[in-house]
Amino acid sequence: MTQTMTANPVGSIEASPRTLAKATGGALLAAAAIVVLFVMPAEYGIDPTGFGRMIGIAGMGAGSKDEAAPAPGPAEAPVGGPAALTVPTKDTIIRQGDLRSDEMTITLAPHSGQEVKAHMLEGQSYVFEWSAKGGPVKVDMHGERPDAAEGEFTSYWAEKALTGGKGVFTAPFAGTHGWYFRNKGETPVTVTVKTAGFYNDLFLPQG
């Protein structure tokens, strides 16, 4: 049995290249018109023709400018970090007086105490380090104003048992600022205090 295939079966359509080109171009123009007139206004808030605003679809997908890009709030500090950094200025950098350094060693008998202090003006500061040998001591870092009543002081850092400490201290007011060390043990303890910075002197208050 012989089967003959025709070049253009009944029901098929043969289009010329010119017709295909016209059809393709028309489809592209229609797609571009849909994008410009509907997609861009609705999804991205871009409405170059104004047609999207006219029919009420502009900004439907993207939302308003305020919704898309909310105003930034206050900066949050990283976990474990400072809330904000204070930029030094001339007024916060300059210190009064001469730069000096001191080292003082005291020996505390059992159940006895002694102060080590520095005369300072408001805003003066020093770097310090102290250490105790022979056992821990009770320590209170504090300050008194020149006109303070007996027993009146401001405490900054107090510990019941410590063998050393270091840091940077800035006087919040004029007066004497330093430490009270007390040996609560049964054997002598030697405490060495080192300071460097801007202050008048390092001394042992009596009484």
Q: What's the pLDDT tens digit per position in 2-38?
A: 343 444 444 444 556 666 556 555 655 656 666 656 6
Closest CA to 153 of 117, 100, 196, 184: 117
pLDDT digits (tens, 9 = 90+) for 64-76: 444 444 444 444 5
Write out the chain's pLDDT in tens, 207 residues: 434 344 444 444 455 666 655 655 565 565 666 665 666 666 666 766 666 666 666 665 544 444 444 444 444 555 555 567 889 999 888 888 899 999 999 999 999 999 999 999 999 999 999 999 999 999 999 999 999 999 999 999 999 999 999 999 999 999 999 999 999 999 999 999 999 999 999 999 986
The three state secondary structure string of 31-52 is HHHHHHHHHHHHHHCCCCCCHH
3-state secondary structure of 194: strand
CB atoms within 10 A of CB 88: 8
What structural domains does the chain harbor? 17-68 (no CATH), 95-203 (2.60.120.680)
Closest CA to 108 of 205, 166, 27, 187: 187
